[in-house]
Structure 1
Amino acid sequence: MQRIFHTPEGVRDIYNGECSQKRKVQEKIHRVFHQYGYEDIETPTFEYFEVFSREVGTIPSKELYKFFDREGNTLVLRPDFTPSVSRACATYFSPDKEPVSLCYTGNTFINNTSYRGHLKETTQMGVERIGDESADADAELLAMTVECLLAAGLTEFQVSVGQVDYFKSLLKEAELGPEAEERLRVLISQKNSFGVEEFVEEQKLKDSMQKAFTEIPQMFGSEEVLKKARSLTNNACALEAVSRLEEIYEIMKNYGYEKYISFDFGMLSKYQYYTGIIFQAYTYGTGEPMIKGGRYNGLMKHFGKPAASIGFAIEVDNLLLALSSQKLLSEKEEKPEVIEYEPQDRAQAIKEAQKLRAEGKCVALRLKKEAR
């Protein structure tokens, strides 16, 4: 049997300076979580399949790593922390009585073969605010997003904010079938204005609906976009969604972080559990978002304790890629002080090393090569 020394496709080893840099960035982000009063939680690496089933609204079943336990139950490696944390919250907390603020760090696993070169195991850090439906909670998580990126060392980035309820309200008014809805969702997500225009004409929607859907892919930018969104519809639910964004933006001004916020009504997540605002953070040097988040007011009901919730996940690997490309990672590797000793000097060497370590220094003891 041939011995294998390399990793499978989609996973990799992280070592030397890169591993050290990753730990330092994680520590800085973790400090922000705690400063906002979020408490740590660890959930299992694998869960019952039902936690990530189609009804929950997470990724497609074919992209899950599935296996069986001895009793024949289907288990999956977690592809996403939000359902896991929601399940744990429903088990151990009472978000109906008091909002629950939790934070986590760990790896996720997605068996996606359609993206060659993309990692199948990635590190995520994130927070979940469960039992709070206020615009203040939305703004707090946007503020945390900004502070996490600043703490990591980034200076130039943008947090793009969308509103799922705006699109869903228009869909309900249009009365499209499931297949048509999904096709329209894909076209808008791709910002394919011509495709959207052609599609809505085929559906023979009224002129005002056609105009609204055609405009959505190009509705991104500053707060002026909110006025544009208002002008396109009289749908009460859609207008309420715009009002929510306006309120959140005003709260962000209190934090002083409004300059980092932009709006994108064409942002539509593949996760179906999102219900209100969704957001993604981008910077130079990586085409993928560093942070993804949003409101998921319907998810907790799947675990027996309905509660309005919002959260975000930091893709740590994407963040490190951005920091590296912008040369914002420290090139200095803190090497330990090395004390070499002969066997007869062992006691003295150990005593010296212990003294230096007590002072907070890093010390490596090494028996001299010729004495090994």
Structure 2
Amino acid sequence: MKNLTLHTPEGVRDIYNSEYERRLDVLYNLRKDFKASGYTPISTPTFEYFDTFSKEVGSCKSNEMFKFFDRDGNTLVLRPDITPSVGRAAAMYFSDTDEPVKLSYEGNVFINYHSLQGRLKESTQAGCEFIGDSSVDADAEILTIVVNSLKSIGLKEFEIGVGHIDIVKGLVEAASLKAEDEERLLNLISNKNFFGAKDLLESAGVNKSLIELFDLTGKILNSPSEWKNYLEKAKKYKKVYDALEYLTKLYEILKSNGVMDYISFELGMISEYRYYTGIIFTGYSYGVGEPLVKGGRYDSLLRHFGKDSPAIGFAITVDQLMLALERCNER
């Protein structure tokens, strides 16, 4: 029988010596950047009640959470996602203010991925949450912090893809598909199988002009001028049209902030987290297969905790960031 006393469980690892020192330096610099941008640090518990991350919240899948029980029989989970934790804390401690609240955090998250996926089950995140402002300026502020923070710690090659939940959502609603076809379509778009998506739409009898508008979901664009030709068709579908107009406004602010060299628009982007309500974004870097940053707007999440307040935020996965920095230095 294998002696397990010297081994870590699958999906977790020890970090020590110079690697850990570099990680501490990166976390320190991120914390400094977040503070300089006006974000106050907050620390939330490593484990919380299951309801904080339940299906209604729209966070991690139940079967991917590490669950256990307290002495009273309550179901607890190791947090798989820090955003709902910060949302709960904000609803608890800032319930009586209408002023925007800016919070930053760092901590470990735990997701019970299938062993065959070869992914870390414990990882470190650092991020910011901007609560109480629904404006496009708030979205631009968050994206600008992401870009400038990654640049300031020495990451040279990275790209932030920005999408909007209402583009795919609006298109799928307009197609009026059967439930099983809708699920198949979303899977095809998520997996970037756009030819398969087009075949499904044609076989379902969706009108040609709407299918042409679905072309947006397969494109990575650099500016609104590249989706200008789709706007006339999109006028028939308010949710899609409004999302494209919103991204146009966002682009103008990001351009004036000087960060568009690191940002593109992925109009078919979908997130596994169901609490997102507006823009969503994902960041990648050279030689790193997993995202090093994820984020988006979640205007309905805090209602679950009793505070009706819009919000947007992001989380940098420090493990992927460290790998990206290492790969950049190798080039």
Do they fold alike, i.e. is TM over 0.5? Answer: yes
Aligned to 2:175: 174
Partner of 1:92: 93
Match of 1:39 in 2: 40
1:318-351 CA-partner distances (Å, limit 9, x unpaired): 010011011179xxxxxxxxxxxxxxxxxxxxxx
Letter in 2 for 1:279: F
Measure the CA separation in 2 of the matches of 1:74 and 1:259: 46
SS class of match (1:111): coil
Q: Structure 2 CA distance, aligned partners of 1:12 and 1:131?
A: 38
Instruction: Give, as a single letter, the amino acid of the residue that structure 2 aligns with 1:304.
Output: G
C-alpha displacement at 1:216, in angstroms?
Answer: 3.1
User: Does structure 2 conserve the Cα–Cα contact (< 8 Å) formed by 1:153 and 1:328?
Assistant: no
**Corresponding position of 1:79:** 80
Q: Structure 1 residue 117: deviation in Å? A: 1.9
User: Matched residues in 2 for 1:169 and 1:183: separation?
Assistant: 16
CA distance in 2, matches of 1:284, 1:31: 25
Aligned equivalents of 1:128, 1:206: Cα separation in 2: 41
Number of aligned pairs?
328
SS of aligned partner of 2:95: coil
CA distance in 2, matches of 1:27, 1:226: 40
- What is the rounded CA distance, in whole Å, between the counterparts of 1:96 and 1:41 in structure 2? 17
The answer for the alignment partner of 2:221 in structure 1 is 221
Question: How many angstroms does 1:170 deviate by?
Answer: 1.9
- Decide whether the 8 Å contact of 2:10 with 2:115 is kept in 1: no
Q: How big is the shift at 1:156?
A: 2.1
Deviations 1:79-128 (A, max 9, x none): 00111110111001037611110000000000010653210000000111
- Contact residue 225 and residue 263 of structure 1 kept, 8 A: no
What TM-score does the superposition give when structure 2 sets the normalisation length?
0.95
Q: Quote the residue 1:290 is aligned against.
A: 292
Q: Structure 1: how far apart are the matches of 2:324 and 2:318?
A: 10
Matching residue of 1:133: 134
Gaps of 5+ in 1: 330-372
Q: 1:327 is paired with a residue of what secondary structure?
A: helix
Offset of residue 178 of structure 1: 3.9
Q: Cα distance 1:328–1:145, how it changes in 2: closer, same or farther (>3 A)?
A: farther
Q: 1:220 is matched by which residue type in structure 2?
A: I
Q: Distance in 2 between matches of 1:184 and 1:116?
A: 24
Question: Which residue is equivalent to 1:259?
Answer: 261
CA distance in 1, matches of 2:269, 2:226: 13
Counterpart for residue 246 of structure 2: 244
Letter in 2 for 1:267: M
Structure 2: distance between partners of 1:257 and 1:136: 14
Moved more, 231-240 or 31-40: 231-240
Match in the other structure for 1:363: none
| Residue 166 of structure 2 corresponds to residue 165 of structure 1 | yes
1:277 has 2:283 as partner: no
Identity %: 50
Per-residue deviation, 1:169: 1.7
Aligned partner of residue 305 in structure 1, secondary structure: coil
TM-score, scaled relative to structure 1? 0.84
Offset, 1:232: 4.1
List alignment gaps of at least 5 residues for structure 2: none
In 2, Cα distance between the equivalents of 1:230 and 1:79? 38
In the TM superposition, structure 1's runs of 4+ consecutive aligned residues that sit over 6 Å from their partners are none
Look up the match of 2:119: 118
